[in-house]
Amino acid sequence: MNVNRILQIREGDAVKTFQNFLGEWWGRIELDAMLTPVELPDHGGVSPQVISHPEDLSKVNPFIPVMLSNSASMIEGFVRDHPRSHLAAILRPCELRALVELKKRNRVHYNPTSSGRRNENLEIISVDCPGTFSLVEYTQHAARHQHDAEIIEVELAYGRQNSYVPYQVRSACQMCDSPGPLGADIVIGTIGIEPQGSLLVIARDEETDARLRLREVTYAIATEQQVVSREVMVGKLVDKRAQKRAELIEAQARQAEDMDTTRRCLPAVPSAPTAWMPVRYTTANSAGCWASAKRARGAHPLLSELVSLSRWLASCSGCGMCQEACEHNVSLTSLVTVLSHRIQSQLHYKPGDPAQRLPWMT
């Protein structure tokens, strides 16, 4: 059963309050390093970086509504570079889903908090994510609103407009049906919560809450109203996005043209099943989800390629980084969403759910 606590916002600065929380928590559980979104200078977005000293937490900001890469692709290297260490990572919900899928496929190896191996665990923190903007739109917004550029802009918009889905957020975010994290050790709840007042700190269960010593670094147990408010708003947001997803899919007049465009990349489809992973298109230097390998078509039977593609779509985390990396400006998000949701529905599979086995492994 979840344990919901509150983090009282100090001086109206949610980001600074969260940074202070991380600093106190770091010392209490004796962390060695953390993979976390670090704010770039001049409102240049964020970059996932490894922090080894708690004094550097002043640069951490997981609330900036912009996403440039999927940090799940960095976890394996992060853990490998810090053997026998107590680690933590801060991820968005789609990054967490990608990490779970990679772990199911044995592409990422780490000791979860439930392993009981003290000081050799990877603690996962995930934040609510109402959506992210493109870097250009975020930079323009920050330039126009210098006085509040550090505040959680998207969360404020959702709180004031009753889960309204801004058209400016990336199309992947408009169609995301899981804005709340699933399976994290700690969830930072912001949706439906007034960010000038408090943030929710939600432990996976009572054992995790005690082991991570969250009572010592939070203000109090959350009230029922605070917990329900978040749950209701997350539900409303999911409903809005389901409607938006249907509208975008139906309105995609260029879908046939886009499918024709992808033929330029199809000869380079990676044929090995292990290549069809979220990490294939979430690395920062990816050339595109279908153009990332230089294998010639026909190296493997077509049926094998289709099975590999279907498995990749079943595990799609919905981060939208494939479209960000596409060299041909194809609307991959809509195309992938149509296919992945259909396959996931037929398989009764929810990507990112730690409790579900891969459908073809049952």
Nearest by Cα to 25 from 166, 213, 284, 240:
213
Q: Report the distance separating Cα 177 and Cα 240, nearest Å.
A: 9
Q: What is the pLDDT of residues 96-150, one digit of tens each?
A: 999 999 999 999 999 887 766 766 799 999 999 988 988 888 888 777 765 444 4
Q: Which residues of the chain have pLDDT under 70?
A: 115-116, 118-119, 145-167, 195-196, 249, 251-300, 362
- Determine the pLDDT at residue 145: 64
- Determine the pLDDT at residue 216: 97
- pTM for this structure? 0.84
Q: Where are the domains of the chain?
A: 3-245, 252-361
Nearest by Cα to 276 from 254, 300, 255:
300
- Determine the pLDDT at residue 295: 43
Amino acid at the residue 116? G
- Determine the pLDDT at residue 359: 87
Burial of 97: CB neighbours in 10 Å, binned 0-12, 13-18, 19+:
buried
- Determine the pLDDT at residue 161: 44
- Determine the pLDDT at residue 273: 34
Question: Where do the H-state alpha helices sit in 120-253?
Answer: 135-144, 153-160, 171-174, 206-211, 224-250
CB distance 301 to 92 below 8 Å: no
